[in-house]
Structure 1
Amino acid sequence: MYELKTKETENSVIEFIENVDSLKKREDAYKLLDIFTETTGYKAKMWGPSIIGFGSYHYKYESGHEGDAPLVGFSPRKAKISLYFATGDTKREELLQKFGKHTSGKACVYINKVADINVEVLKELIDQSITFLRELYPSE
C-alpha cells in the first residue's frame, strides 16, 4: 500500500525556519508565517520534513487513494520558495495573473522572494484555496 510522505509532524516550525541557510529566505519565511497564520487563523504545523502547513483536509480520490494534507502552506527551499495552494480552481489562475513575479508547477507556485509578489493577492489565494478545498472535500 502507498505510504504518504507528507504527514503532519510534531517538529518545530520555528526550529525549521531557523535552520534555513539563507538569511533572506529565513526573513521571508517569517513574513510568510505571519501572513499565512493571520489569513488562515490556523497554527502552523510541519508537514513532512520541509513544508509549513496550515489547517488540514481529508481527500479521497475515485481511485480509492486517500489521505490528509494541509489546506495551504509554503516551504523555503534552497532555489525558490514553494507556495502550496489548491489546484483545479479557475480562480487560482485569475489571481496568479495579478500575483507578481512567480512560476507555477502542477501543485506549487514558486517565488524568489516576498518582495516580488503582491501580498494582498497572496491573501486572496490563501482564502480562495481554503474555500475551494472545503467545498471539494467537506468535513464528514
Structure 2
Amino acid sequence: MSSTTKTRPSGETIAEFLAGIGDPQRQADCRTLTTLMQEISGYPPVIWASSMVGFGQYHYRYASGHEGDMFMLGFSPRKQDLTLYLLAGFDEHAPLLARLGKHRLGKSCMYLKSLAQVDMAALRELVTLSLQRMHALQASTH
C-alpha cells in the first residue's frame, strides 16, 4: 500500500521559505534552527508540505499497511510557536528538558515561543540525541 500523505518535499528552496517568514525575530530563529539542525545532522534542509523544514529522511510502515517517508528531524515556524519535530520523543530526556527553559511538549513535538527563552546547549544536545535515536531505530528495522 503506498502513501497518500501530504507530508512530502515541496520543491521550495530554503532561501524562499525563510524569506517568506514575515516576523523578523521568527525568521532569525528559523535561520538559527536551520544552521543548527544541518550542522548536527549533516543533511541539507528540505521544505516539506510547504510549511516544515526537514533534515534527513526515513521510510515508515505501520501494521495497518500505511507507509510513507518523513524527515528525521525538523521544525516549522507556526503562528503560535516554533514547532520542533524531534521524532524520537522525549521520554529519556528529563534532565535536559529541565535545563532547556520555557517549552511545551507533544508526543514528538516541542513548542517554543522563541530561541531566546531556551538554553541553546541543551537544545543542541536534544537535537543530537533525537537524531542518534532515529538512526538507531532505522538500523534496527533493516
- TM-score when scaled to structure 2? 0.88
Structure 2 counterpart of 1:119, one-letter code: M
Structure 2 equivalent of residue 3 of structure 1: 4
Q: Tell me, which stretches of 5 or more residues in structure 1 are unaligned?
A: none
Tell me the SS of whatever aligns to 1:53: strand
Tell me the SS of whatever aligns to 2:92: helix
- Asked whether the 8 Å contact 1:53–1:71 carries over to 2, the reply is yes
Deviation string 1:41-94 (CA, Å, 9 cap, x unpaired) is: 111010111000001111112222211111100111111100000244532444
Report the Cα offset of residue 113 of structure 1: 0.7
- RMSD between superposed Cα atoms in Å: 1.8
How far, CA to CA, are the matches of 1:88 and 1:122 in structure 2? 14
Q: Hey, which bits of structure 1, 4+ residues long, moved more than 6 A?
A: none
How far, CA to CA, are the matches of 2:126 and 2:89 in structure 1? 13
- Asked whether the 8 Å contact 1:74–1:81 carries over to 2, the reply is yes
| Worse-superposed segment, 126-135 or 41-50 | 126-135
**Aligned runs of 1:71-86 on 2, under 5 Å?**
71-86=72-87
- Asked whether the 8 Å contact 1:89–1:132 carries over to 2, the reply is no
Distance change (3 Å), C-alpha of 1:52 and 1:137? same
How far, CA to CA, are the matches of 2:37 and 2:125 in structure 1? 11
Distance change (3 Å), C-alpha of 1:62 and 1:137? farther
Q: Percent identity?
A: 34
Asked if 1:68 is matched to 2:82, the reply is no
**Aligned runs of 1:76-115 on 2, under 5 Å?**
76-88=77-89, 90-115=91-116
Deviation string 1:5-38 (CA, Å, 9 cap, x unpaired) is: 1102221111111111211101111111111111
**Aligned runs of 1:1-140 on 2, under 5 Å?**
3-88=4-89, 90-138=91-139, 140=142
Tell me the SS of whatever aligns to 2:76: strand
- TM-score when scaled to structure 1? 0.90
